[in-house]
Amino acid sequence: MAAMSTTTTLTPNSFLLKSTASTTSSDRVFNFAAGPAILPENVLLKTQSELYNWRGSGMSVMEMSYRGKEFLSIIQKAESDLQTLLNIPKNYSVLFLQGGATTQFAVVLLNLCKLDDPVDYIVTGSWGDKAFKEASKYCNPKTIWSGKSEKYVDISSFGSVEQTPDAKYLHICTKYLTWHTWKYLMWHTFLKIMLKWTNNPN
């Protein structure tokens, strides 16, 4: 019996991989973008089957009252599962809040700092800049290095960066760098490899 081969196609702009295998999942993609991510198919299919009529209630989850017994059973089960999976003590409550990375700019500060506490920021990209601006509402932030004036095309070695001795913590965002920075890093790495190969082809 011949083995079935599977090919994938990379879409640079959306960072998606799409399977071209002749299976029931051939129309699915693997989402590696920031933000919403891929979910297991069995989870999606179960959600689909219960969307119209959730477990015989005659309602969709989207139609339920958030104070009704049906929805309360959902949220209580979700909290119980999180407490078990993350080993959350029973004297702690789980808060279900909207908001993504931008919300965390404030949440971290509200948990770790007082209004006058110093916090150091290394600003490597647009998200780091946004984090610093948000911090000014909740603490005393200080930018100890920023690549903004150079449009984030370089990253300091940080060897000469002077940190605030009593800073509560140092904030650096390493993931969300602009394309200019990634392009610089890729070319820099490529040139280093080429120089090494030129000097030592073997």
Residue 32's nearest CA partner among 16, 10, 48 is 16
pLDDT at 7 over 80: no
CA distance 130 to 101: 10
> Do residues 146 and 96 lie in contact, with contact meaning Cβ atoms separated by under 8 Å?
no
The 10s digit of each residue's pLDDT in 45-64 is 998 988 899 999 999 999 99
pLDDT at 14 over 70: no
Question: What 8-state DSSP symbol labels residue 151?
Answer: T
Choose between 125 and 74: higher pLDDT: 74
> Do residues 153 and 160 lie in contact, with contact meaning Cβ atoms separated by under 8 Å?
no
Residue 154's nearest CA partner among 175, 124, 128, 134 is 124
Model confidence, pTM: 0.55
Query: With bands split at pLDDT 50, 70 and 90, how would you rate the model's confidence at 32?
Result: confident
